[in-house]
Amino acid sequence: MNIIQNYLNIKNEIQVLDRDVRLVVVSKGQDINKIQLIINQGHLDFGENKVQEATLKWTEILKINKNINLHLIGNLQSNKAKDAFKIFNFIHSLDSEKLAKIFSNLEIIQKKKINYFIQVNIGQELQKGGIAIHLAGEFINYCKNDLKLNILGLMCIPPADQISEFFFLKLRELNSINQLKYLSMGMSGDFKIAIKSGSNYVRIGSSIFN
């Protein structure tokens, strides 16, 4: 089965569940020729997890197709924030006051607004990024009210060896408590469960690119 067919199959599965869910095609580590096949289908949302790779791969494409949205889905170090701000439209992994301040200052200086998801360490795993659950409410208020960042909602990556649905529902509840509108959750292996649990943005790569 080829890449285009994989993409169309995934897109159809999403639309059957909820046609308003946004598919972010995870293009990290993929050759631009393969990505171009998806671009040719009219798709506009792509996810990358490394700023340098995204800059090298997408700069020329974005000059030609200004409608493409790039989503940063990986952990971001503060020293890469300025470069990330230049190329990404969505940051799915905002998880520290330091990063939030940097983005706020960049928005003021460059008179440009981008979109953010706050990553929550929903499984309380030491090896994963994300704000701690008990600190989420305070951090959300700080980003929205003090820094005036456009916080769309919350993002999580549930523990790999546990039932995803439990953590998706937990994140949905946290999202609701904090009066946020959108959820970024679900990847190739669990996107259907994520959509049924309320996800608005799913991040899918391996099921498309094999």
The predicted pLDDT at position 1 comes to 57
Q: How many residues does the chain have?
A: 210
Over residues 32-59, the pLDDT tens digits come to 999 999 999 999 999 999 999 999 999 9
The predicted pLDDT at position 103 comes to 98
The predicted pLDDT at position 4 comes to 96
- C-alpha span between 130 and 62 (Å, rounded): 29
pTM of the model: 0.96
CA angle 94, 96, 171 (to 5 degrees): 55
Residue of 14 and 161 predicted with greater confidence: 14
Over residues 123-176, the pLDDT tens digits come to 999 888 999 999 999 999 999 999 999 999 999 999 998 999 999 999 999 999
For the chain, give every domain's residue range: 3-209
Pick the CATH number of 3-209 from 3.20.20.10, 1.20.140.10, 3.30.300.30, 3.20.20.140: 3.20.20.10
What does the block give as tokens for 11? 């897109």
Given a contact cutoff of 8 angstroms between Cβ atoms, the answer to whether 117 and 155 are in contact is yes
Over residues 197-207, the pLDDT tens digits come to 999 999 999 99
